[in-house]
Amino acid sequence: SGDILLDQDIEGVVEDSISSSWKSQGLALLQVECYLMLHSMVVYLSRNLNLVLLKQGFVATLCTSFFNHDC
């Protein structure tokens, strides 16, 4: 009977670890999706900004001001 109890305990532990790993994987997936969404938004915005700024010739000055100053 001791062996049976041990087996059940191991199964329970394995199930717990599997469910927790699934939860952490789900969180990681959520973070990746959020990152991708933000990234695509940034790319989209920067493209539109670049088009506007290129017409006005501000891209170079913006780049130098961004890269030369510490945030």
Structure confidence by residue, pLDDT tens digits, 37-71: 988 988 888 888 777 767 776 666 766 777 775 54
- Domain locations in the chain? 2-68
pLDDT at 47 (0 to 100) = 85
Q: Token match 């199930």: residue? A: 15
Residue-by-residue DSSP string for 6-71:
HHHHHHHHHHHHHHHHHHHHHHHHHHHHHHHHHHHHHHHHHHHHHHHHHHHT-HHHHHHHHHHS--
pLDDT top residue among 5 and 20: 20
In the structure, how many helices (H) and strands (E) does the chain have?
A: 2, 0
